[in-house]
């Protein structure tokens, strides 16, 4: 036990993992260490994040809404009237405090290894936001090997590694992201010389595309996915029923209809789709193996039993293909990468699971990352450790990513500082529930959770959800109302049947939007006016009046504007 009796905390975040991928949530992917966590903790079915990763990470580390924390929109999706406005800075701003900042002041050691994605400029890196030791990838995604290859030309400004605030120019020859992040975390914890507690943030970039895995892992799942989308979907749903995650009468989610069915694919396309999923599954087993290495080291150091562990994904599975990342095109990807089937998963390949598999791995939820449907914002959450009491599967509690900070502070017996000018916490502590100190629900039928990113909007209240989706995954002209208790898959829009409830939730969303400073996009993209290089400087001189959208914006370079990661 730590000297002060305070627990250690290990916060593990994986990148773009599907809802039903790991064993505790019904997956066929071998994840024995996550299963160990689940067996000694609680699995939550109604845990919600943002639909995109940087806003989720901002909320996770600050406990505040993304519009308060600086990620009101996802770089580079800002409109000209949002760019550099308060709450839309594009990095974790100084209006919020972070978990490591608060815990460090309370005597904790604070360590980070992995993906940051909350600012790459001087003073915005994790070493400046409370972490004592850091090895971080500053951007959204990149090669998992040592070539540091960006997702696209326009992703280069933040495709960079940093250790303790200093840029890392060269990575080791045998670098693989999940292995190296785990090595660093083991190093930081092992070198700690005193008995003070620690907060460790391990943020894997896996299984974010490009799908890469070390050679020894390439054929771990050979043949597993040859029967196609429906077979895997049905197998996972059956296991979820056996685990008590979903009702026994739930039928498979047939998907959005946006993608080809397995039977409509050519033999070559089926081979390619199976192989992509094999690599993706191997990435997830690999990160689980790395967690096992870390758990073993914590046990060797007699720290495991005093550590409360949180495991989550930052959003739903990723439907994007390599050509999604501007200015990539199908032709440029084919020309610049070796995407022969035999090179899948290796250096100089760039493959993704794509939309059809993204819907499958999010079974039974609707859609995927980028959307505020459940497949975009509902992710696995496991909380585990001998210091917390709750065990089993929890399906009737609505949780939010901003709950993690107040929960950690509560367990550490550290008060949230009441500093003037700081934004209010959006989340609530889970400790009374996890310690089984109360029979009260975490949120009641009157509590509201609001969401918005890139004009994808939602509000949840009790069993009800109101959602607005712009194209391409919505019409962009109406709100839909769903009863999630009766309609997990969000298939039946009941807005016409329940006009009073519709209006109630619409008013709730408008109150939320006002409270967090939401700025409706004016349709003019800031990056088109500034260019990508200037955009990533995040210079306040480019700020435009948020009400009128009128102002001077320097730069005239026009470039593609697809949302990156």
Residue 32 placed within a domain: yes
**Angle at the Cα of 22 from the Cα atoms of 21 and 25, rounded to 5 degrees:** 90
Structure-block tokens of residue 97: 């405090």
Structural contact between residues 396 and 462, judged by C-beta atoms closer than 8 angstroms: no
Residue 497 placed within a domain: no
Structural contact between residues 206 and 287, judged by C-beta atoms closer than 8 angstroms: yes
Distance (Å, whole) CA 329 – CA 335 = 10
Structural contact between residues 101 and 70, judged by C-beta atoms closer than 8 angstroms: no
Residue 259 placed within a domain: yes
The reply to whether 43 belongs to the active site is no
Distance (Å, whole) CA 555 – CA 347 = 36
- Split into its structural domains, the chain has a count of 1
Residue 532 placed within a domain: no
Structural contact between residues 308 and 298, judged by C-beta atoms closer than 8 angstroms: no
pLDDT in tens, 70-113: 999 999 999 999 999 999 999 999 999 999 999 999 999 999 99
Tell me, rounded to whole angstroms, the distance of Cα 164 from its chain centroid: 23
**What's the sign of the alpha-carbon dihedral 106, 110, 116, 121?**
positive
In the three-class reduction of DSSP (H, G, I as helix; E, B as strand; rest coil), residue 394 is classed as strand
Region at 132 (left for phi over 0; alpha for psi -120 to 50; beta for the rest): alpha
Residue 365 placed within a domain: yes
Residue 134 placed within a domain: yes
Distance (Å, whole) CA 293 – CA 204 = 14
pLDDT at residue 2 in the model: 44
The reply to whether 22 belongs to the active site is no
**What's the sign of the alpha-carbon dihedral 126, 127, 130, 131?**
positive
Structural contact between residues 312 and 49, judged by C-beta atoms closer than 8 angstroms: yes
Strand boundaries in 250-401, DSSP class E: 307-313, 381-384, 392-394, 399-400
Residue 171 placed within a domain: yes
**Angle at the Cα of 424 from the Cα atoms of 136 and 445, rounded to 5 degrees:** 105
Closest CA to 309 of 388, 401, 391, 399: 388
Distance (Å, whole) CA 205 – CA 209 = 9
- Write the CATH number for 408: 3.40.720.10
pTM confidence score: 0.95
- Strand ordering across the sheet containing 448-453: 448-453, 456-461, 464-468, 479-483
Q: Low-confidence residues of the chain, pLDDT below 50? A: 1-4, 548-561
Residues 6 or more apart whose CB falls under 8 angstroms from that of 256 comprise 355, 359, 366, 367, 473
How many CB atoms are located within 10 Å of the residue 446 CB? 8
Reduce the secondary structure of 305-338 to three states and give it as a string.
HHEEEEEEECCCCCCCCHHHCCCCCHHHHHHHCC
Q: Which domain holds residue 48?
A: 8-434
H/E segment holding residue 452: strand 448-453
Which among 117, 158, 400, 542 is annotated as catalytic?
117
Q: How far is CA 270 from CA 28, 212, 264, 274, in A?
A: 19, 19, 9, 6
Which among 22, 43, 53, 456 is annotated as catalytic?
53
Residue 416 placed within a domain: yes
In the three-class reduction of DSSP (H, G, I as helix; E, B as strand; rest coil), residue 202 is classed as strand
Residues 6 or more apart whose CB falls under 8 angstroms from that of 108 comprise 6, 100, 196, 197, 198, 199, 412
Residues 6 or more apart whose CB falls under 8 angstroms from that of 230 comprise 252, 262
pLDDT at residue 3 in the model: 43
């Amino acid at each position: 036990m730590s000297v002060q009796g305070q627990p250690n905390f290990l916060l593990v975040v994986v990148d773009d993992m599907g809802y039903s991928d790991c064993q505790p949530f019904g997956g066929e992917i071998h994840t024995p260490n996550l299963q160990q966590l689940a067996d000694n903790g609680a699995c939550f079915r109604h845990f919600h994040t943002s639909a995109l990763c940087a806003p989720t990470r901002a909320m996770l580390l600050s406990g505040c809404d993304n519009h308060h924390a600086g990620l009101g929109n996802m770089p580079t999706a800002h409109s000209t009237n949002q760019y550099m406005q308060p709450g839309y800075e594009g990095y974790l701003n100084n209006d919020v405090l972070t978990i490591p900042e608060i815990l460090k002041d309370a005597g904790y050691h604070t360590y980070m290894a992995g993906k940051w994605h909350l600012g790459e400029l001087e003073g915005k890196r994790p070493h400046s936001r409370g972490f004592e030791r850091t090895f971080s990838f500053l951007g959204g995604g990149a090669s998992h090997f040592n070539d540091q290859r960006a997702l696209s030309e326009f992703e280069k400004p933040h495709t960079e590694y940093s250790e303790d605030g200093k840029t890392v120019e060269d990575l080791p020859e045998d670098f693989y992201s999940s292995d190296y992040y785990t090595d660093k975390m083991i190093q930081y914890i092992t070198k700690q010389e005193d008995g003070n507690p620690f907060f460790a943030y391990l943020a894997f970039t896996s299984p974010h595309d490009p799908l890469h895995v070390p050679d020894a892992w390439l054929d771990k799942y050979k043949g597993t996915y040859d029967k196609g989308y429906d077979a895997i979907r049905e197998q996972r749903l059956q296991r979820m029923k056996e685990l008590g995650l979903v009702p026994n009468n739930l039928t498979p989610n047939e998907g959005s209809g946006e993608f080809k069915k397995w039977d409509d694919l050519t033999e070559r396309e089926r081979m390619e789709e199976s192989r992509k999923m094999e690599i993706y599954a191997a990435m997830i087993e690999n990160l689980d193996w790395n967690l096992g290495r870390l758990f073993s080291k914590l046990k060797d150091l007699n720290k495991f039993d005093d550590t409360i562990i949180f495991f989550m994904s930052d959003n739903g599975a990723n439907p994007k293909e390599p050509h999604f990342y501007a200015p990539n095109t199908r032709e440029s990807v084919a020309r610049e990468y070796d995407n022969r089937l035999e090179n899948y998963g290796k250096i100089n390949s760039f493959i993704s699971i794509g939309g059809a598999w993204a819907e499958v791995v999010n079974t039974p939820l609707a859609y995927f990352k980028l959307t505020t449907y459940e497949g975009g914002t509902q992710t696995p959450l496991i909380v585990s450790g001998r210091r917390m009491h709750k065990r089993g599967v929890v399906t009737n509690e609505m949780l939010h990513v901003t709950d993690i900070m107040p929960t950690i502070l509560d367990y550490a017996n550290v008060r949230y500082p009441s500093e003037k000018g700081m934004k209010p916490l959006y989340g609530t502590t889970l400790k009374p529930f996890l310690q089984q100190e109360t029979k009260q629900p975490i949120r009641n039928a009157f509590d509201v959770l609001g969401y918005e990113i890139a004009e994808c909007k939602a509000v949840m209240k009790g069993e009800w959800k109101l959602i607005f989706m712009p194209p391409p995954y919505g019409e962009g002209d109406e709100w839909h109302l769903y009863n999630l208790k009766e309609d997990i898959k969000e298939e039946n829009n009941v807005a016409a049947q329940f006009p009073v409830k519709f209006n109630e939730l619409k008013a709730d969303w408008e109150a939320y939007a006002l409270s967090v400073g939401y700025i409706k996009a004016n349709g003019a993209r800031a990056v088109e006016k500034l260019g990508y290089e200037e955009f990533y400087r995040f210079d306040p001189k480019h700020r435009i009046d948020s009400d009128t959208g009128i102002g001077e914006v320097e730069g005239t370079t026009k470039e593609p504007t697809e949302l990156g990661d």
